[in-house]
Amino acid sequence: MSNTVVMGAQWGDEGKGKIVDLLTERADAIVRFQGGNNAGHTLVVGGKKLILHLIPSGILHPGKVCMIGNGVVLDPEVFLREVDALSEKNVDAAPERLKIACRAHIIMPYHRSLDMAREAAKEAGKIGTTGRGIGPCYEDKMSRIGIRASDLLDLSLVREKTAAALVEKNALFRLYGQPEMSVEAVMAWIEPLAARIAPYIQDVPAIIEQCTKADKPVLFEGAQGTHLDIDHGTYPFVTSSNTVSGNAAAGSGCAPDKLHGVVAVVKAYTTRVGAGPFPTELSDATGDYLVEKGAEFGATTGRRRRCGWLDIVILRESARLNGPTGIALTKLDVLTSLPELKICTAYVFEGRTIQYPPQGQGALGRVTPVYETLPGWSEDISGAVRFEELPANCQTYVRRIEELLGTPASIVSVGPGREQTIIR
Ligand code: GDP
Ligand code: IMO
Ligand code: MG
């Protein structure tokens, strides 16, 4: 297998974790390249469920190297909690196989507090962030005042940067009526964490280079989804990083020619957590059915996910932005028993029929979806292992998606389990 990027094509929670876990079998190393513990990637192996927020979804495969790239924002407390939870399950999460890039930025307690204070203060226009401090940490990175993983090896530097950051942050806490933070309190928090994290901090770009030189396949694990991308998503209702496939290179520290293929993970319908436009959203019994049958509750915050029909228009834009060589179509089993299925193939916007989302802020909230209707199926498909075993109407649904997007569904997922997958 060549080096492959796995990324979400919609608004997150497409099933990236399952697909990365599956493809890890054919890779030697796995790298997360953006986002932080706003992600919740669920793996179901041998009937047991594990949710990872920060550590790459390849960790359950012994011997594979898992890396957290420079493009990630890392909360050290969450990282160590995840390491401990894995160790309790006898999963090896030692620094010999789990690495944090020196240049990854660190989420500090004042980032979390600021994220929550800002959201709480908004009367209208709440984004519905995960409250994990993601936005404020990326802000500090861009403002060139962030604390990076390698800084944790020199606590005097962390103290100096924290003191400087808190001058501004405390002014904001006063503005929002929140308690101020002291340098001492932050240092008391970080010191024990830094000591434990130190051995994990390594030269990730050098390890990726060693892999590529030795023809050892690397898997790049995306978080969130294309329409949560800071540039290309439904701004301002987005996350604070570039989620598109191109960022796999910059966010992990390799050249773009090392990315050989892109697997776009596409849920067979659409979901979204948090605020923002969602043209095919269903606020009716079918929407409730998808929530229930698809267990559509957030893996990070437990929030109910908004559900709707498959939207080819946003997927068309995803294809344009990510260049998928294949699609992993997930949660097809959730659609079983619906008498008919709708696919949105275009929008009507300001009297015109359009094939791509309009580009202006908020314009996506003013489109009307154009649907085509396909017949459903009632047979249980959760045990299917070959495409030909799927009911005819189910095959037609998959083929129609392939046709509309011009990309093969090389992986079709029919249940949460690792084995509930059709590889074509
Ligand atoms: P991610 O953030 O993209 O990794 O996705 P999440 O883990 O947040 O959400 C996907 C959910 O769907 C998880 O609970 C998975 O276990 C589950 N899942 C993944 N693939 C399938 C599938 O084909 N069928 C069903 N029924 N569930 C699936
Ligand atoms: P995975 O990797 C779904 C959403 C939040 C909110 C917006 C901004 O599991 O697919 P943030 O905390 O990032 O500043 O919140 O982005 N969001 C996600 N939605 N899946 C995710 O990750 C998400 N990560 C962030 O709900 O609307
Ligand atoms: Mg998720």
Rounded CA-CA distance 137/36 in Å is 10
Using the mean position of ligand 3's atoms as its centre, give its distance from the Cα of residue 38 in Å.
8
Residues 29 and 40 in one domain: yes
Domain edge (last residue) among 262, 279, 303: 262
Using the mean position of ligand 2's atoms as its centre, give its distance from the Cα of residue 154 in Å.
32
CATH number at residue 190: 1.10.300.10
Question: What's residue 340's pLDDT?
Answer: 98
Domain edge (last residue) among 211, 236, 262: 262
- Cis peptide leading into 236, omega within 30 of 0? yes
Residues 327 and 243 in one domain: no
Residues 132 and 218 in one domain: no
Question: What's residue 300's pLDDT?
Answer: 86
Residues 151 and 12 in one domain: no
Residues 215 and 203: beta-carbon distance below 8 Å: no
Question: What's residue 368's pLDDT?
Answer: 98
Using the mean position of ligand 1's atoms as its centre, give its distance from the Cα of residue 243 in Å.
18
Ligand nearest to the CA of 18: 1
Domain edge (last residue) among 212, 241, 262: 262
SS3 content of the chain, % helix, strand, coil (to 5): 35, 20, 40
Domain count, the chain: 3
Tell which atom from ligand 1 comes closest to the C-alpha of 41: 4
Whole-model pTM above 0.85? yes
CATH number at residue 317: 3.90.170.10
**Residue ranges of the chain with pLDDT lower than 50?**
none
Residues 9 and 61 in one domain: yes
Residues 127 and 153 in one domain: yes
* Cβ of residue 45 lying under 6 Å from some atom of ligand 1: no
* Cβ of residue 308 lying under 6 Å from some atom of ligand 1: no
> Pairing mode, if any, of strands 340-349 and 218-221?
unpaired
Indicate the top mutation candidate among 18, 224, 318, 331 to test ligand 2's pocket, ranked by most ligand atoms within 8 A of CB: 224
Residues 114 and 86 in one domain: no
Residues 94 and 80 in one domain: yes
Residues 213 and 97 in one domain: yes
Using the mean position of ligand 2's atoms as its centre, give its distance from the Cα of residue 318 in Å.
17
Residues 152 and 211 in one domain: no
The two tokens of residue 161 are 């940067």
Residues 172 and 316 in one domain: no
Question: What's residue 124's pLDDT?
Answer: 87
Active site residue 53: no
Rounded CA-CA distance 126/3 in Å is 38
Q: Whose CA is nearest to atom 5 of ligand 2?
A: 129
Question: What's residue 1's pLDDT?
Answer: 56
Residues 207 and 330 in one domain: no
Indicate the top mutation candidate among 112, 270, 273 to test ligand 2's pocket, ranked by most ligand atoms within 8 A of CB: 273
369 lies in which domain range? 265-423
Rounded CA-CA distance 2/217 in Å is 5
Q: Whose CA is nearest to atom 25 of ligand 2?
A: 38
Active site residue 380: no
